[in-house]
Amino acid sequence: MAASTTLEPRVATLEDAMRELAFQSARTQEELARLSREMRDFKQEMSEFKDEMKEFKNEMSDFKDEMSDFKDETRREHRELNKKWGDMANRLGTIVEDLVVPSLPRIIEETFMEGIDDLSVRRKRRLPNGRSKEFDAIAVTPSLVCLNSTKATLRSADVDQLVKEIEELREFFPDYRGVPVVGILATLAAEQSVVRYATKLGFLVLAVGDELMEVQNPAGFVPRRW
């Protein structure tokens, strides 16, 4: 009877422990189930977020393509407008005034990092012996003279002629004899073979482009100073 009395508290304690263990186990299962639901919801949200980001990236890609197409179309229209302007100026005989002269300050500054101090268009001069000469355009910077020769259609012979014109420039303008001269050829559209020949002699070549006239020489080209 005494042994039974002693055993009863132990059984009660064991039963309490088992109940506590069952409670904790149930609580743990509940926490795991809640965590599992939260993880499932989180994965679902991440999946939806990824889908939204993918859709956003696709929309951005489409937008970039549209902007690229728009820029290309604008550039083509701008170039076409300049060509039409060039054709009109050619018919009127005003290529120098309408296309070349407005472009020279920008091109000279970009190429030589110098501004123009003096710009003459269709500059004429007569020598005491009666000889006269007209130059399409002459641009003077602090360190050099830029002599322009403009042709509606530029040929290799025009490139050779510019060499002679540089000599004549110094003859008609003695003040330029001690100043380096850069030759600039301008045309509506330049054939690559002529551009290569002019580049070989060290002349800048300009033709109608996106910004009225643009340099046609290869990148890195350094004009010769005669």
Residues 216 and 207: beta-carbon distance below 8 Å: yes
pLDDT tens digits for range 203-217: 999 998 776 789 999
pLDDT tens digits for range 84-100: 655 554 554 567 777 88
Does this model's pTM top 0.75? no
What whole-number distance in Å separates Cα of residue 174 and Cα of residue 124?
14
Residue type, 48: E
pLDDT tens digits for range 72-83: 665 666 566 555
CATH number listed for the domain at residues 94-215: 3.40.1350.10
Q: Does an H or E element contain 123, and which?
A: strand 118-126
